[in-house]
A = this chain, B = another copy of it.
């Protein structure tokens, strides 16, 4: 027996519609002509009653409630984890399928964690909730899995270069305020004197800085973000024992998470062989220099700087960037919903 699917023209509720990812979800539903018969914008009480543009329409934001979810076939959630924990089961009880972009459900055994280029078949065993993955993780696993299929992945080491919009609009605002204040005196910053506003969203000033801590440290000194990279990558790729770890770092880019990846395979991988595979991989676009700005506002995972490790013919280095709000969040969530259409 296969799991529940959507009707042909589902009624869609976007919860968290006023946030950075929520707005991109609405954009992407339009861009991809998602066959919704109705789209509702839902958020907290604070935003209720405000208007959000949706094509030629203005959606009036509804406050999250059982009533607001009534009759929805598909609920796309982008909220803090606590809200997703609370509202996803309610939406399922009311008959909806939930595609959730929070971290709340990703590691639940009964919840498929789906990146459509990798494990689309995992939608077959959902019980109402499907999870989209962490933004850094998605950008890494899309190219990595294409290489795995060909060469057999043994291990991966990742260092990330994460944009401020990973913390939503407050992250972008914080970068903007700090940068405006200090851009006129970069020489002073070059001597270690930061004179901008105190950080609120991030733990350290982020403008013209590099901050090797995303979130806070947990077991073994790894942050939640770093553990997500490990455990989500294993679940998505169906490699429960994969050796994968990393260091997550915030940098002052606006959108487009980057990762420097060193990956080791079971067989020899030349640069040319890796490039051939990546050139045909779904969701991957090869480029010479995959910058953050190149990825921003675009759908693919851009991959470049592919090189065979000079010490190990079974290992390669590559760099990848992808838009953390699109493929890293909103796009992947909508792609999951597309898989559920008849």
Contact = CB atoms under 8 A, between A and B. Distances in A.
A304 interface: yes
Interface stretch (A75-83, A105-113, A118-126, A253-261): A253-261
A109 to B, nearest CB: 21
A342 interface: no
A210 interface: yes
A142 to B, nearest CB: 17
Given A191-B297, A245-B311, A292 B179 contact: no
Nearest to A161: B210
B157 A190 contact: no
A211 interface: yes
A245 B291 contact: no
B306 A209 contact: no
Contacts of A243: 311-312
Interface string A184-195: 101101111110
A192 B307 contact: no
B213 A289 contact: yes
B179 A249 contact: no
Contact of A307 (B159, B186, B209, B222): B222
A271 B222 CA distance: 11
Given A210-B321, A258-B212, A260-B212, A189 B293 contact: yes
A22 interface: no
Contacts of A246: 317
Interface string A222-251: 100000001000000000000111110101
Interface string A284-296: 0000111111111
Contacts of A310: 220, 222, 230, 245
A175 B210 CA distance: 15
A289 B253 CA distance: 19
Contact of A183 (B176, B193, B210, B304): B176
Contact of A190 (B172, B211, B221): B172
Nearest to A194: B293
Interface in A293-329: 293-298, 304-312, 317, 319, 321, 323, 325
Among all A-B residue pairs, the 9 with the closest Cβ atoms: A192-B297, A159-B260, A191-B297, A159-B159, A243-B311, A190-B254, A192-B296, A221-B307, A212-B319
16 contacts: A157-B157, A161-B210, A172-B190, A176-B183, A176-B186, A190-B254, A191-B255, A192-B256, A192-B294, A204-B291, A209-B292, A209-B293, A210-B321, A212-B304, A221-B305, A251-B252
Given A204-B289, A220-B308, A245-B309, 4 more contacts: A175-B186, A187-B254, A208-B292, A221-B271
